[in-house]
Amino acid sequence: MIDGVNKLYEEDLALQKKQLEFPTIQSTHSLVAKHVTKERWDKLCKHTTKTAGFTLAKAIACAVEFDNQHCGIYAGDWDSYKDFAEVFDPLIQEYHGISADAKHTSDMDFSKITGNVNPEAPVHSTRIRVGRSIDGFGLSPGITREQRVGVEKLFSSASKKFEGELAGTYYPLTGMEESVRQLLVDDHFLFMSGDKNLQASGMERDWPEGRGIFHNVDKTFLVWVNEEDQFRIISMQKGGDVLGVFKCVW
């Protein structure tokens, strides 16, 4: 028995050593291949983030596993952008074509929207969506099982307080009845598992636990919980009234 324990210990040490070796990045033309140099890897590969215990290896898993990635990196939590800044900063700057001192600005004031789609234009429907995350919880690639369930509980509780045109029902994927599932499929509301990039990046861990869909009575306001974002908020309606759709998101 002692020999067996020692053998397992030796195998574990060998695995840990292998995990710290500079990886072969299959997507050779990706931004990960350009910005994750051996020097940066050796400096950052042993670090784990505080919020979700995320690592650089997990962040670049898609670029390592697949040969068709353009970017190839995912942040597992807010900490990732800070802790692995030597990789994320130049990669983001090149991807978006921005300078190192660029600042992100957000303006959700719908009153500033002027004009609208010509009502005579043959627009079938309009949809606007935004992604939102809660501070202190991991992002989908790194979020822990407990955090994911915690996010779902927070939303499930909050959604019961929605009033007026936003009032509706939250449908958790876990334990979903077939009749409900089919209805959501028919309405094109249901998100599915099976995307290889989401799987490799860690976004589909513990599927389907902690995930679900909310929609209001009129089916013009949806929230996907713990898909690619913690919350993907979607506003939609028939026709081309962009201002009206944006007001609902705001």
Backbone angles phi, psi at 35, to 5 degrees: -100, -20
Instruction: Please give the Cα distance from 52 to 41 (Å, whole number).
Output: 19
Is residue 159 within 8 A of residue 214, CB to CB? The reply is: yes
Place of tokens 């902690």: 210
Name the region of 41 (left: φ>0; alpha: ψ -120 to 50; beta: rest): alpha
Is residue 69 within 8 A of residue 38, CB to CB? The reply is: no
pLDDT tens readout for residues 175-194: 999 999 999 989 889 998 99
pLDDT at 219 over 50: yes
pLDDT tens readout for residues 196-214: 999 999 999 999 999 999 9
| Rounded percentage of the chain residues whose pLDDT exceeds 90 | 73
Q: Which string of b and e fits 142-162 if b means at least 16 CB within 10 Å?
A: bbbeebbbbbbeebeeebeeb
pLDDT at 115: 80
Instruction: Please give the Cα distance from 90 to 92 (Å, whole number).
Output: 6
pTM of the model: 0.86
Q: Interior CA angle at 54 toward 52 and 60, to 5°?
A: 145
pLDDT tens readout for residues 90-148: 999 999 999 999 998 888 888 888 888 888 888 888 999 999 999 999 999 999 999 99
Q: How much is the mean pLDDT over the chain?
A: 91
| Rounded percentage of the chain residues whose pLDDT exceeds 70 | 92
| Beta-bridge partners for 235 | 128, 221
pLDDT at 11: 45
